[in-house]
Chains A and B, each alone.
Chain A
């Protein structure tokens, strides 16, 4: 057959695309379970890091089952609703109308104390931010915070994943009396109060993104946080 004819070109293209499609499908399906396990284990690892338990990704499943005593979902009125808390994607929930949001809560038992772990979700300079905030039994004082990001600038905004930024949140409180003030991220070392932390120099937009993320995400949890344990 003439190699340059239209018929041959079409035939060649069709066969090539089919072969490539089959190969990619096999690779993708074959590796899917392993990839999902990586993603889930990383999530477990982050949840545990928010209560100051550092484990490797491979060990996170076991540690998660040890420390996380209970996980459930609440709605924006603070009432418990049925479902699998771990499977919820907070990125999708934050886009829903407030009344329809399903909010996961993880309860950890660390050194004999109960900690509430809440996922938070927001946006930085280049893409999504997310993280986990753990609260003491008073549902007010922050015990630990973990943040991660999709593509903030390395060395600047990406510093939110570092311990020295995350540890600035320890011991801060969310409520001022009955009002949820959340945590403000202040520029230039001015942070003094119990509701403020210092921003990352050079990472202002990411830092402000963290502030907005906390405010928005925690506002949904407000009725739950105000309810008695």
Chain B
């Protein structure tokens, strides 16, 4: 058995581009607005969501023949929230500063539409390995968009990347100023819109008639 057949590779890589959860399905926008003011929280959020979608898809897919249909949404919720709590506890213990910055958003990973969406649409109807790939692919696709938005917001809003100064101090003395609007959530929405625009312009088949 090949580990990555063409179909499986498509499951993992598709969400990175033409099937991206944020850019094409417009899922998970809310958290994309909230945690992208800086690169570091965006990266941690992206990794956390990837871990949760991948593991939730894997676990629920393995259980799919045992889960009673009538309570399947509740089962999904319990599994996803348990994973989120575990991630939250791990962050508090090992990445305390990041967990402080993400604060309430870690708990809100469960409300990220991508996770429940992938579990309900894919994992409950497919085998564990493809489900894991599908979950991971969607999570990584989400993380990439988050990082792109955070890159511009942190660079233009704070003049730093991952907390390290990129725009030199000297420039400020000549009258350059950080754009305060970049730090506020509305700018994330505008940036997400611009990214979607560029993305569609390069992938004509995504443009609705």
Contact = CB atoms under 8 A, between A and B. Distances in A.
Nearest to B87: A27
Nearest to A13: B71
A75 to B, nearest CB: 32
A167 B118 CA distance: 49
Contacts of B75: 12-13, 16
Interface residues of A, number: 24
B118 to A, nearest CB: 20
Nearest to A42: B96
A87 interface: no
Interface stretch (B10-18, B62-70, B121-129, B164-172): B62-70
B105 to A, nearest CB: 11
Nearest to B82: A20
B96 A38 contact: yes
Contacts of B183: 154-155
B93 A38 contact: yes
B101 to A, nearest CB: 9
* B: interface residue count bin: 20 to 34
B70 A4 contact: yes
A45 B60 CA distance: 43
A96 B94 CA distance: 34
A27 B86 contact: yes
A86 interface: no
Given A154-B37, A155-B184, A12 B93 contact: no
Contacts of A12: 66-68, 71, 75
A16 B85 CA distance: 16
Given A12-B66, A150-B103, A35 B86 contact: no
Nearest to A150: B103
Interface of B: 37, 66-71, 74-75, 78-79, 82, 85-86, 89-90, 92-94, 96-97, 103-104, 157, 180, 183-184
Minimum-distance CB pairs A-B, first 4: A155-B183, A34-B93, A38-B96, A31-B93
